[in-house]
Each structure stands twice: as structure tokens, then as C-alpha cells.
């Protein structure tokens, strides 16, 4: 009795989870494997389309004889690159139809025209014409003929399914001169974006954790950048930073802080002089990182605030009795309490920033030194139309992420052991 209950429970569980698991498998896990497959192939965007035979039906009435009709099929191979083999054709006609001059490739049986056109090379085109006559001399209804569509079939190679593999894509990705630069840009973007958003998160959480008038309102306001759509925010920032008539540049010029406008999103380097040392700051990248921090510190803020509110009040009361200063309280009580949250946040944000595509794409499109790896996936795959290369870059991203996670957990595990 107990066994059957356990079995029904199991069965129910599988039935309940199956739809979700199947969908996630099809849309998330399968593509990851497909990515590995594609990355070892030479595929371009234009190769993806499966070649298929197509026909356009044009009906022409013959003016002197209403019982006759001419039908023109414009046949073509949809692909400009590949052939279609064993094309078959089929179209149905009303019962009182008879055909004139049957093409040798075709046969007309049971009111159906069937043809075998053989192999069509790439770019193949043919105008195929048939003439029909009604056997009882009645008028032909053109609409009825128009409503039936011809069916065409053919086999062709799907470039994705053959087994020609190559290492060319990976060679191109890894031994390209730009690769180190790409990696560095991605790293700067990810690292500073993550650290910045966590620092701002700590500051704001600490701030909102105090009592003041309008605190709940402040909490919602702080989350605005995180919940609003990227598209709207990115274009607003672009407008704000625009060198010609952007608000920020106009303000700075108005207050005589700068003399000429700075193109914050379009200038790769800017020279900065600090204490006699010349620095070359990557300006566009810095701006993009600022946007990143601005948009994502709310997540850090929320996590840290939730943790702060869970710290027992007694700790602070005890510290007050001991005469600890606010700084001491922060560094000796608050900070140790939130390190766990910070380390989780660091990992989450690092992974997500590493893969961030939309923000950079919308702000700069990857120009002026802001090309990160995800941008490169898009550019290789869709701008240069080399799907294989794009896949190879995304495989590199996954590999780097796994490496990061491995070391991160190893490091974290060690620290937990020490404690």
C-alpha cells in the first residue's frame, strides 16, 4: 500500500514538473549545446535559411474562349547558395478540368497535377505554364482556382546538421590581436561596475536604515533605475550627455567649469593630470560603467538593507554602553554582518555584468573602446554575419564564467574553513 502511494506521488511529481522542465530544456539547455555545435562550424547568417522550392501562381484568362484558362507558375529555388533536390509539385483542380499539352515531367490524374522537377541548382528559376479546358464547356470560376495553393516539396542539406567541423572560429577568436583588449575591457566594465554598485548599495542601505521623514518614498525612488526599462534610461542618458546640446555639457559650460564640450560617450581617452602625473582615462568606458553603477546599485541596496534590518539591535546597544564611536560600530558590527550578503552580491553582479549586453549596446553600440565580449558576440554574429564566430565568442564567455565561479567558490570555501 505504501509503495503504491509513493509511486503515485512520484508519477504526479513528474507530470507536474514535466512541462516546465521540457520548456526550460528546449529553450535554455538545448541552445547551450547547440552553441557548442555551431561554434565548431563555418556558418554565416545567409546560410541559415533552409533552401526550399517556391511557386507563385498567376491565372490568365484567354479572352476568346471563356472555357479555357492559362495558369502560370513562377517556380524558383529560394536559396542563392544551395541546391534543392527531388522537387515535387502538386496542385488540385475542379472536377470538370482537362489539360492540354501535358508536360513530360508531369501527370494529371484524379484532378490533380503532379510533377517531378528533379534537382534545382541555386538561384534556379522557371516559368511553368499549363492550359486547361472544361470538358463541358462551362465558364471557369477564377477565384476557385486561385484559392488552392500548389504544394512543393524538396530535400536539401541543412548546413547546421552536417558534420563538417573546424577549429577556425576559435583560432580567430583567441589569437586575434584584439582579444586581450576585449578581455580587459570586459573585465574593467564588470569589475568596476560590480564594486561601484556594491559601494553605493552599502551607502544607501546605511542611509535608509535610519529613521527620517519620507523613508518609504526614498526606498521606492532608489529602486527606480532598476525597474525602469533599459531602452528609456539609456536614451535619456545619451541625451543628457550629448556633446552638442546635452544638458550636462551645457550646464558645465554655463558655470565655466569646462570650455569646450566633452563627448562623454564618444571619446575613447581623456588626459587627466593629477599631481603632475598624466593619466589616460578611458572616458567612454568610464561613462558606461557609471551608467552601470547607477542602474544596478539598487539591487545591492535592497539586499544589504534587508540584511541590515535583520541585525539584532542589542549589538548596537552593547556597543553604545562600551562607548564605541559610529565608525567603530560600522566597521566592527555592521560590516562583518553584511560580508556574506556582499560576497553573494559580488558573484551575482559579476556574472550578470560580465554578460551585460543591452546597456553598452544602447549607449555606445560598442564604439570608442567599450566593446565588451557580449557586444562582440552580437557584432560577429549579426553585424559581420558570421554565426560560427559569434557562437565561438559566447562559448569563450561561458568558459570564462565557469572558471570565475570555480575560483570564487574555492576561495570562498577556504575562507569559510578558516572561520
d(CA 395, CA 32): 9
Query: Nine-digit cell at 398?
Result: 561561458
User: Binding to another protein by residue 14, rule CB under 8 A?
Assistant: yes
- Sole binder of another protein in the list 59, 102, 239, 281 (CB under 8 A): 239
User: Binding to another protein by residue 175, rule CB under 8 A?
Assistant: no
- At its nearest, how many Å lie between another protein and the CB of residue 268? 21
Total residues binding another protein (CB under 8 A): 97
- At its nearest, how many Å lie between another protein and the CB of residue 216? 8
Q: Segment near another protein (CB under 8 A), from 64-72, 111-119, 254-262, 271-279?
A: 254-262
- Residue whose C-alpha cell is 490533380: 112
φ, ψ of residue 223 in degrees (nearest 5): -90, -5
- At its nearest, how many Å lie between another protein and the CB of residue 194? 13
Identity of the residue, 140 or 345, whose beta carbon is nearer to another protein in the bound complex: 345
User: Binding to another protein by residue 49, rule CB under 8 A?
Assistant: yes
Binding mask 130-169 for another protein (x = CB under 8 A): ----------------------------x-x---------
- Sole binder of another protein in the list 2, 64, 147, 227 (CB under 8 A): 227
Contact status, residue 150 vs residue 73, Cβ threshold 8 Å: yes
User: Binding to another protein by residue 193, rule CB under 8 A?
Assistant: no
- Sole binder of another protein in the list 224, 279, 406, 407 (CB under 8 A): 224
- In the range 262-301, which residues lie near another protein by CB under 8 A? 294-296, 299
d(CA 56, CA 54): 7
Q: Report which DSSP code applies to 81.
A: S
| CA atoms 6, 9, 14, 15: torsion sign | positive
Identity of the residue, 50 or 72, whose beta carbon is nearer to another protein in the bound complex: 50
User: Binding to another protein by residue 212, rule CB under 8 A?
Assistant: yes
d(CA 358, CA 363): 8
- Sole binder of another protein in the list 247, 384, 406, 410 (CB under 8 A): 247
User: Binding to another protein by residue 117, rule CB under 8 A?
Assistant: no
Within the chain, how many helices (H) and strands (E) appear? 15, 10
Q: Segment near another protein (CB under 8 A), from 99-107, 122-130, 213-221, 271-279?
A: 213-221
Query: Nine-digit cell at 265?
Result: 560617450
d(CA 282, CA 272): 10
- Which residues fall within 8 angstroms of residue 403, CB to CB, at 6 or more apart? none
| CA atoms 133, 134, 136, 139: torsion sign | negative
- In the range 313-332, which residues lie near another protein by CB under 8 A? 323, 325-327
Q: Report which DSSP code applies to 330.
A: I
Q: Segment near another protein (CB under 8 A), from 100-108, 118-126, 266-274, 353-361?
A: 353-361
Please tell me whether residue 113 adopts helix, strand or coil conformation.
strand
User: Binding to another protein by residue 384, rule CB under 8 A?
Assistant: no
Helix axes 335-354, 178-208, angle to 10 degrees: 140
Burial tier of 135 (Cβ tally within 10 Å: 0-12, 13-18, 19+): exposed
Identity of the residue, 114 or 219, whose beta carbon is nearer to another protein in the bound complex: 219
User: Binding to another protein by residue 240, rule CB under 8 A?
Assistant: yes
Please tell me whether residue 139 adopts helix, strand or coil conformation.
coil
Q: Segment near another protein (CB under 8 A), from 45-53, 56-64, 98-106, 266-274?
A: 45-53
φ, ψ of residue 91 in degrees (nearest 5): -150, 140
User: Binding to another protein by residue 407, rule CB under 8 A?
Assistant: no
- Sole binder of another protein in the list 2, 4, 19, 95 (CB under 8 A): 19
Amino acid at each position: 500500500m505504501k509503495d503504491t502511494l509513493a509511486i503515485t506521488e512520484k508519477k504526479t511529481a513528474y507530470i507536474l514538473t514535466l512541462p516546465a522542465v521540457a520548456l526550460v530544456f528546449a529553450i535554455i539547455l538545448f541552445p547551450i549545446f547547440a552553441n557548442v555545435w555551431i561554434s565548431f562550424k563555418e556558418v554565416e547568417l545567409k546560410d541559415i535559411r533552409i533552401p526550399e522550392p517556391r511557386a507563385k501562381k498567376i491565372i490568365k484568362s484567354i479572352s476568346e474562349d471563356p472555357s479555357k484558362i492559362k495558369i502560370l507558375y513562377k517556380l524558383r529555388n529560394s536559396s542563392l547558395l544551395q541546391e534543392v533536390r527531388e522537387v515535387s509539385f502538386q496542385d488540385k483542380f475542379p472536377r470538370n478540368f482537362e489539360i492540354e499539352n501535358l508536360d513530360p515531367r508531369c501527370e494529371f490524374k484524379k484532378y490533380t497535377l503532379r510533377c517531378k522537377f528533379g534537382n534545382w541548382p541555386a538561384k534556379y528559376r522557371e516559368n511553368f505554364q499549363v492550359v486547361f479546358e472544361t470538358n463541358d464547356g462551362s465558364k471557369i470560376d477564377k477565384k476557385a482556382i486561385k484559392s488552392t495553393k500548389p504544394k512543393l516539396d524538396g530535400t536539401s542539406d541543412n548546413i547546421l546538421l552536417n558534420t563538417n567541423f573546424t577549429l577556425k572560429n576559435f583560432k580567430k577568436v583567441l589569437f586575434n590581436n584584439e582579444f586581450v583588449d576585449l578581455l580587459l575591457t570586459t573585465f574593467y566594465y564588470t569589475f568596476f561596475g560590480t564594486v561601484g554598485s556594491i559601494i553605493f548599495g552599502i551607502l544607501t542601505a546605511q542611509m535608509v536604515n535610519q529613521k527620517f521623514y519620507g523613508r518609504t518614498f526614498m526606498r521606492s525612488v532608489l529602486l527606480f533605475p532598476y525597474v525602469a526599462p533599459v531602452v528609456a534610461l539609456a536614451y535619456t542618458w545619451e541625451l543628457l550627455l550629448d556633446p552638442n546640446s546635452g544638458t550636462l555639457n551645457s550646464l558645465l559650460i554655463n558655470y565655466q567649469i569646462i570650455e569646450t564640450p566633452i563627448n562623454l560617450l564618444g571619446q575613447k581617452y581623456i588626459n587627466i593630470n593629477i599631481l603632475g602625473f598624466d593619466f589616460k582615462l578611458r572616458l567612454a568606458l568610464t561613462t558606461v560603467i557609471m551608467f552601470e553603477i547607477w542602474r544596478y546599485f539598487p539591487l545591492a541596496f535592497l539586499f544589504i538593507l534587508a540584511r541590515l534590518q535583520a541585525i539584532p539591535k542589542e549589538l548596537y546597544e552593547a556597543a553604545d554602553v562600551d562607548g564605541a564611536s559610529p565608525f567603530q560600530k560600522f566597521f566592527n558590527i555592521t560590516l562583518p554582518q553584511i560580508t556574506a550578503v556582499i560576497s553573494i552580491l559580488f558573484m551575482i553582479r559579476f556574472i550578470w555584468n560580465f554578460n551585460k549586453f543591452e546597456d553598452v549596446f544602447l549607449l555606445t553600440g560598442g564604439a570608442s573602446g567599450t566593446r565588451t565580449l557580449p557586444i562582440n558576440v552580437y557584432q560577429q554574429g549579426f553585424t559581420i554575419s558570421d554565426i560560427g564566430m559569434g557562437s565561438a565568442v559566447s562559448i569563450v564567455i561561458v568558459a570564462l564564467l565557469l572558471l570565475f565561479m570555480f575560483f570564487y567558490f574555492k576561495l570562498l570555501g577556504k575562507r569559510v574553513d578558516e572561520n
